[in-house]
Amino acid sequence: MRSRLHKTFQSLTVRNYRLFATGQLVKLIGVWMMFVAQDWLVLQLSDNSATAVGITVALQFTPILLLTLFGGVLADRYDKRKLLLIANASFAVLAIAMALLVVTGLVQLWHVFVLAALLGTANAIENPVRQAFVSELVGNTLLPNALALNSAVFNSARIVGPAAAGGAIALFGLGPAFLIATSAAISPVISLLRIRPQELLREQLPGKGKRPSSGIADSIRYVRARSDLVLPIALVAVVGAAGFNFQVTLPVLSKVVYETGAASFGLLAAALAAGSLAGALGGTWRRTRPSAYVVTGSAVGFGVFSILVGFSSPYWLVLTLLLPTGFFAIFFAQAANQRVQMGCDASLRGRVMGLYILVFLGTTPLGALGVGWWSERFGPESAIWLGGVASLLAGVAGLAWQLRRHGEQLRMRFRPLPAVYVAPRSPAAPTPPIGRS
């Protein structure tokens, strides 16, 4: 057990990574508190409109469509630590502005829309830089563990944040909940300032005259020529747009369908996040690049449980099924992230991760708008199971493509334990002669 715990948290022995992860954990708890409070605020300001929630989520993620590739270019050309300081400081200022509007009672729906778009802009620059920065903190040897711990940090915040938000809203109201959430936004700025630049494992930045001027097209050509990168990126495009829309569906499901309060909504979000945390920790033992079958298999698992959630009626059953749904959601996202990041050239990592995040998170505005519109007219349950169907079909299609491309097939064994595994496709057996068994 001691050995397994050491392997699980090995990256935390690196001081710079420990500071970075701590700052991110505190910030993300506040961010998830703010997201829950924001969704509740939008429902109040819009008379329970699922479309308004969808618009808010879309505005948060639309800048990713426009700026993430640019953020990846910046990550490959400039000091990532300084870029992260600027992006996180900007996010903190905007979050505080949102909290002050809510506390003073001046907030209107258009304020939320505008600040959601501005917060999304800061995130669009910060995301690819942060993804590429991890390798400078721990090096390539510990990179799989550090990426898995990043997911664990993210999903730990998803457990604590929504639960804390639901309790804070119920006990103190929206204004104080926003103040508590935004007070955590300064944490990553402090952590980044304490990181020792001399201990970072990075290549020397080229001089200003030697820095590449056009890197976006290079990254697209590079990925297009790599089928092992195209498959996970294509899968996250479909699953991200169709399946990862619980930020829209869960508040509507809680408030409109089950007619419960903020605390019950926070419990649904926490159940999804608890499963996600288990999925993230499940990948911390990985020391090599995950296979395409891990990526496609986890996409299939997510699709199956999303369908079950959508067709379930009792609140307790939905709450229970959100645990495995969250597990496969993050296990899939983490495996796809690791397969892309560990399979690309270090000099292109920022731009490739910018493209990955563009596809993964940039599809969310389109999905959020569609899911919000559908949920308002036909109910959030159908939006959830339809997203599950799309994710399941994408996973099966990706699995079939991978098997055919590499001449492999799925097999099942029952001893000593039942398992499904991949084996080379065997040639067709000759037809036995007549009269012989």
First to last CA, the chain: 53
What SS3 state is found at 412? strand
d(CA 283, CA 147) in angstroms, rounded, equals 9
**What residues are paired with 413 via a beta bridge?**
419
What lies within 8 Å, CB to CB, of 115 at 6+ separation is 94, 97, 98, 101
Quick: pLDDT tens for 173-201: 888 888 888 888 889 999 999 998 888 87
Single-letter amino acid code for the residue at 271: A
Please report, for residues 47, 247, 253, the alpha-carbon distance to residue 378 in angstroms, rounded to integers and kept in the order given. Answer: 17, 17, 12
DSSP code per residue over 61-84: HHHHHHHHHHHHHHHHHS-HHHHH
Q: Is 78 exposed, middle or buried (0-12, 13-18, 19+ CB in 10 A)?
A: middle
DSSP state of 345: -
Single-letter amino acid code for the residue at 140: N
pLDDT in tens, the chain (437 residues): 565 555 667 788 889 999 998 998 889 888 888 888 888 888 888 887 878 887 887 788 778 777 877 888 888 788 889 999 999 999 999 999 988 998 888 888 999 999 989 998 998 888 888 888 888 888 777 877 887 787 777 767 766 777 777 778 878 888 888 888 888 888 999 999 999 888 887 665 555 555 444 467 777 888 888 888 889 999 988 888 888 878 778 877 777 777 666 667 778 877 887 887 788 777 666 667 888 888 999 999 999 999 998 888 788 898 899 999 989 988 898 888 888 887 777 777 777 877 887 787 767 667 777 887 887 788 888 888 898 999 999 999 998 888 888 777 777 776 776 666 677 776 554 444 444 33
Is pTM beyond 0.75? Reply is no
Residue matched to tokens 């990526």? 295
d(CA 180, CA 177) in angstroms, rounded, equals 5
CATH superfamily of 2-195+215-407: MFS general substrate transporter like domains (1.20.1250.20)
* Chain mean position to CA 336: 11
